[in-house]
C-alpha cells in the first residue's frame, strides 16, 4: 500500500526500529506491561500496550499514572516500575527475530547503507542479542535507545539522533517501523518512512500515521528492497 507512489532513490542510511520490527517481541512486551501495571492494582487493557509501542518506558508509565491518579509518576517511581517490567519481560521465553528481518537488514547492508537502531526500548534482553542476530548492522555507536533521548516517539528526536549518528540528513534516510507512533516519528523527522505491519495493527493505521509506503510483512519488505533502492543512483 503506497501513499506517495513507489519511490526508487538513493538513501545512505536506514534507521530501524527494534521491537515488532527486528524482533517478534510485542506480545511479550504487552504481557509484561499488563502484569506490572496489574500488580499495582491499576486496571488496564492488555492490548492497549500495542498502541503505546515506540514510547519510552517512562512515557508509557505516565500515561497509565495520569489516567489512574491524575499525575505523573515520580522519576524514581518510574525508574523502579520500568525495572520491574524489564524483569518480567526477561523472564519470558526468548523471542525470535521477526521472520524476514535478517534478510531485510542484509539486503540493506549489501547496498552499502548505514544501518542505525532507533528504539524506545532500553532493555538489554534484546539489545545484547543484536550483534549475534544482526552481525555488523548495529554496533554500539549506531544505536539510539530509550536512554539516549529526552522525547520518545512519536516525537522525531529518536530518528533525528539516528541521522546524526550516521552522518546523514533526512533526504538520504529511510525509517522503518511497525507501529503508528514510530511511523509518526519517522515521518516527522523527514525520512522516507516505511511502515511494516507485523502484528494486530492494520496497514491503514500506518498510512494514516504518515508512512510513505506500507508492506504487509517484513518478508515483503525484504523482497522489495531491490526495487525501492535504485542501484544506479547508489551513493558510495
Choice between 20 and 152, CB closer to Mg ion: 20
- The residue (of 31 and 71) whose beta carbon lies closer to Mg ion is 31
- State the pairing for strand pair 192-196/173-177: parallel
Name the residue whose CB lies closest to Mg ion.
20
Least spacing, CB of residue 26 vs Mg ion, in Å: 7
Sites of contact with Mg ion (CB under 5 A): 17, 19-21, 178-179
Q: Tell me how far, at minimum, the Cβ of 71 lies from Mg ion, in Å.
A: 28
Min dist CB 153 to Mg ion, Å, is 9
Sign of the CA dihedral with 78 first, then 27, 177, and 209 last: negative
Report the residue number, 47 or 110, with the smaller CB distance to Mg ion.
47
CB of 142 to Mg ion, least distance (A): 18
| C-beta closer to Mg ion: residue 19 or 107 | 19
> Nearest approach, Cβ of 70 to Mg ion (angstroms)?
29
CB nearer Mg ion, residue 30 or residue 225: 30
Amino acid at each position: 500500500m503506497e501513499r506517495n507512489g513507489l519511490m526508487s532513490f538513493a538513501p545512505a542510511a536506514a534507521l530501524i526500529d527494534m521491537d515488532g520490527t527486528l524482533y517478534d517481541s510485542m506480545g511479550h512486551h504487552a504481557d509484561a506491561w499488563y502484569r506490572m501495571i496489574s500488580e499495582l492494582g491499576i486496571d488496564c487493557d492488555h492490548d492497549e500496550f500495542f498502541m503505546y509501542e515506540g514510547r519510552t518506558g517512562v512515557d508509557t508509565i505516565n500515561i497509565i499514572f495520569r489516567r489512574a491518579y491524575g499525575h505523573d509518576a515520580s522519576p524514581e517511581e518510574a525508574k523502579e516500575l520500568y525495572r520491574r517490567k524489564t524483569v518480567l519481560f526477561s523472564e519470558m521465553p526468548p523471542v525470535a527475530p521477526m521472520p524476514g528481518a535478517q534478510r531485510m537488514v542484509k539486503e540493506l547492508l549489501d547496498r552499502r547503507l548505514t544501518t542505525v537502531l532507533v528504539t524506545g526500548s532500553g532493555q538489554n534482553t534484546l539489545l545484547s542479542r543484536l550483534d549475534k542476530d544482526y552481525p555488523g548492522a548495529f554496533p554500539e555507536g549506531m544505536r539510539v535507545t530509550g536512554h539516549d533521548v529526552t522525547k520518545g516517539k512519536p516525537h522525531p528526536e529518536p530518528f533525528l539522533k539516528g541521522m546524526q549518528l550516521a552522518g546523514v540528513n533526512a533526504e538520504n534516510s529511510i525509517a522503518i517501523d511497525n507501529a503508528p507512533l514510530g511511523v509518526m516519528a519517522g515521518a516527522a523527522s523527514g525520512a522516507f518512512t516505511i511502515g511494516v505491519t507485523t502484528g494486530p495493527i492494520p496497514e491503514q493505521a500506518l498510512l494514516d500515521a504518515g508512512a510513505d509506503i506500507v508492506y504487509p510483512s517484513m518478508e515483503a519488505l525484504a523482497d522489495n528492497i531491490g526495487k525501492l533502492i535504485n542501484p544506479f543512483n547508489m551513493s558510495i
